[in-house]
């Protein structure tokens, strides 16, 4: 759509110069001689941008801003004046102006100010659309505190929602940082045990000498330093859920005790002669391949089958890269609240880097990258300069012209290069055409047209 500009200035030469410049730049321009006439114009027509002089007869620029305050919500007003300085600029912005330029000015300064305002408007509109999409996606594609739109994660959420209603023992697998504890919490709080305790335990983070006592408790005098009775985490989770994270790190000797808990629904504290009955749902998680651990003799086969009643596998982030923009928006909103910032989005070039990264630390790594970027950002939009250097410097294997084409026809070479780039973009985004179009820096309709011309199917 054509962008419309209104010029409000009592100097005829200024109106003529700006009209000629802006018409030449592709804008539709109207010009009037004072604020009152400008007020009448905005009653009739919506203008994307308004250049307004401050000193004018009848109604000056400040009076115009005050009178038009409720009509300028979707317009960017740029004030102009040969008088005044910072104080005047600040006062005009308090009244709703977007920017301020001093007369006399160069034509490049006018166009630069417009480009900045136009970019801000574009990002604002994109942000509104993105938030609406995110809300729609989040309403339909979430589980607990996790959100996603990829087919893989939707399948996980669907399974988890069903499993949450039962007391079945669950084994969650996936690389570190994929969100295993979030799924475990979702299973607990989405089921009939939600009002009872959820007790997370990192089996690899507690010293082996203390782990038995931590899990099952101990009696006073059971060992040196046991000065009083201690309630174990299984007993503390009674009527609720215990989450055994990194259960593959559990010492072999304790695996026998855990197996008994699962079989008999009872625990016996260290130093006690009697067992106590408990009602605990067990959800376990591991980043190890427990089947390989069983084959290697590091994990009991009978315990593995007791834990692996209903397996849920979380894919790595690189396997669901279409979730990255959604997760970024989610983390930006969270850190805006936490850190008191007002970040509105991410530039396409920065998003391109995020989509290309292989994310060895998965969602947790992405979360840390966004938090750092929000802290470091000088502008309201996150750019490449806000990302860690390792992401900015990441490189993909180069493809020389000789690798893809050995002829002489420029037309044929262009087609081969375009097809190669389109396929790479679709592979990088797992077939997401909207994201692929952004990587290619072309419009979505243009990409669809090229897919049809080149007969590319993904």
Structure tokens belonging to residue 413: 């070479």
Which pLDDT tens digit goes with each residue over 215-231? Answer: 998 988 888 778 888 88
- Return the minimum-mean-pLDDT range out of 89-98, 301-310, 312-321: 89-98
Provide the mean pLDDT of the chain. Answer: 86
- Return the minimum-mean-pLDDT range out of 97-101, 335-339, 359-363, 403-407: 403-407
DSSP assigned state of 314: P
Q: Residue 402: its pLDDT value, please? A: 45
Which pLDDT tens digit goes with each residue over 364-412? Answer: 999 999 999 999 999 999 999 999 998 888 754 444 444 445 555 666 6
Distance separating alpha carbons of residues 418 and 416, to the nearest angstrom: 6
Which pLDDT tens digit goes with each residue over 125-156? Answer: 777 776 666 555 555 467 878 888 888 898 99
pLDDT band of residue 25 (cuts 50, 70, 90) is: confident
One domain for residues 116 and 242 = no
One domain for residues 420 and 343 = no
Domain-located, residue 9: yes
- Return the minimum-mean-pLDDT range out of 130-134, 231-235, 340-344, 441-445: 130-134
Q: Residue 124: its pLDDT value, please? A: 74
Q: Residue 458: its pLDDT value, please? A: 59
Distance separating alpha carbons of residues 47 and 67, to the nearest angstrom: 16
Q: Residue 100: its pLDDT value, please? A: 85
CATH number at residue 284: 3.40.50.300
CATH number at residue 68: 3.40.50.2300
- Return the minimum-mean-pLDDT range out of 36-45, 354-363, 419-428: 419-428
* Residue that terminates a domain, selected from 70, 101, 121: 121
Q: Which domain holds residue 115?
A: 4-121
**DSSP string for residues in 315-361:** PPGGGGGGGHHHHHHHHHHHHHHHHT----EE-HHHHHHHHH---TT
Distance separating alpha carbons of residues 344 and 3, to the nearest angstrom: 23
Average pLDDT over residues 39-66: 89
Total-model pTM: 0.58
Distance separating alpha carbons of residues 344 and 176, to the nearest angstrom: 29
pLDDT at 285 over 60: yes
Top pLDDT among 121 and 395 is at 121
One domain for residues 159 and 307 = yes
Q: Residue 417: its pLDDT value, please? A: 77
Q: Residue 133: its pLDDT value, please? A: 61
Q: Residue 454: its pLDDT value, please? A: 73
pLDDT at 75 over 90: no
One domain for residues 71 and 24 = yes
Residue 311, beta-bridge partner list: 171
Q: Residue 207: its pLDDT value, please? A: 87
One domain for residues 219 and 96 = no
What separation in angstroms does the CA of 140 have from each of 145, 154, 332?
A: 13, 9, 20
One domain for residues 236 and 336 = no
Average pLDDT over residues 101-125: 82
Q: Residue 401: its pLDDT value, please? A: 43
Structurally, the chain folds into a number of domains equal to 4
Backbone angles phi, psi at 346, to 5 degrees: -130, 135
One domain for residues 164 and 236 = yes
Backbone angles phi, psi at 49, to 5 degrees: -135, 145
One domain for residues 177 and 193 = yes
One domain for residues 223 and 336 = no
One domain for residues 180 and 258 = yes
Q: Residue 136: its pLDDT value, please? A: 58
Distance separating alpha carbons of residues 365 and 371, to the nearest angstrom: 10
One domain for residues 96 and 175 = no
Average pLDDT over residues 191-204: 93
Q: Residue 397: its pLDDT value, please? A: 43
């Amino acid at each position: 759509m054509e962008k419309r500009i209104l010029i409000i200035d009592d100097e005829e030469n200024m109106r003529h110069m700006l009209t000629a410049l802006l018409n030449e730049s592709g804008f539709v321009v109207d010009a009037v001689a004072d604020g009152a006439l400008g007020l009448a114009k905005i009653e009739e027509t919506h203008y994307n941008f308004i250049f307004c002089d401050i000193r004018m007869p009848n109604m000056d620029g400040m009076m115009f801003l005050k009178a038009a305050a409720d009509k300028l919500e979707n317009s960017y007003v740029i004030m102009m004046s040969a008088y005044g300085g910072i104080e005047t600029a600040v006062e005009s912005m308090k009244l709703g102006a977007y920017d301020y330029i001093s007369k006399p000015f160069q034509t490049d300064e006018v166009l630069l100010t417009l480009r900045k305002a136009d970019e801000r408007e574009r990002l604002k509109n994109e942000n509104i659309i993105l938030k609406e999409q995110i809300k729609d996606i989040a309403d339909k594609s979430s589980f607990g505190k996790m959100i996603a739109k990829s087919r893989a994660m939707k399948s996980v959420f669907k399974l988890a929602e069903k499993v949450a209603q039962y007391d079945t023992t669950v084994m969650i697998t996936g690389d570190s940082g994929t969100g295993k504890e979030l799924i475990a919490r979702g299973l607990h709080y989405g089921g009939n045990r939600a009002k009872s305790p959820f007790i997370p335990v990192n089996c690899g983070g507690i010293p082996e000498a203390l782990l038995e006592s931590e899990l099952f408790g101990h009696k006073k005098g059971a060992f040196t330093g046991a000065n009083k009775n201690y309630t174990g985490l299984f007993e503390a989770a009674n009527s609720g859920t215990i989450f055994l994270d990194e259960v593959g790190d559990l010492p072999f000797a304790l695996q026998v005790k855990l197996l008994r808990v699962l079989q008999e629904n009872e625990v016996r504290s260290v130093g006690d002669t009697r067992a106590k009955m408990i009602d605990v749902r067990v959800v376990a998680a591991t980043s190890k391949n427990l089947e390989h651990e069983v084959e290697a003799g590091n994990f009991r086969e009978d315990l593995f089958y007791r834990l692996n009643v209903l397996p849920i596998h979380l894919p790595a982030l690189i396997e669901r890269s279409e979730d990255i923009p959604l997760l970024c928006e989610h983390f930006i909103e969270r850190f805006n609240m936490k850190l008191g910032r007002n970040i509105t989005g991410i530039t396409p070039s920065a998003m391109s880097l995020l989509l290309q990264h292989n994310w060895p630390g998965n969602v947790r790594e992405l979360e840390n990258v966004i938090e750092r970027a929000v802290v470091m950002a000088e502008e309201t939009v996150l750019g490449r300069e806000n990302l860690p250097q390792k992401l900015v410097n990441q490189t993909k294997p180069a493809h020389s012209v000789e690798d893809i084409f050995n002829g002489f026809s420029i037309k044929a070479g262009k087609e081969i290069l375009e097809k190669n780039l389109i396929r790479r973009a679709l592979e990088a985004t797992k077939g997401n055409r909207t994201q692929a179009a952004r990587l290619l820096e072309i419009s979505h309709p243009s990409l669809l047209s090229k897919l049809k011309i080149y007969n590319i199917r993904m």
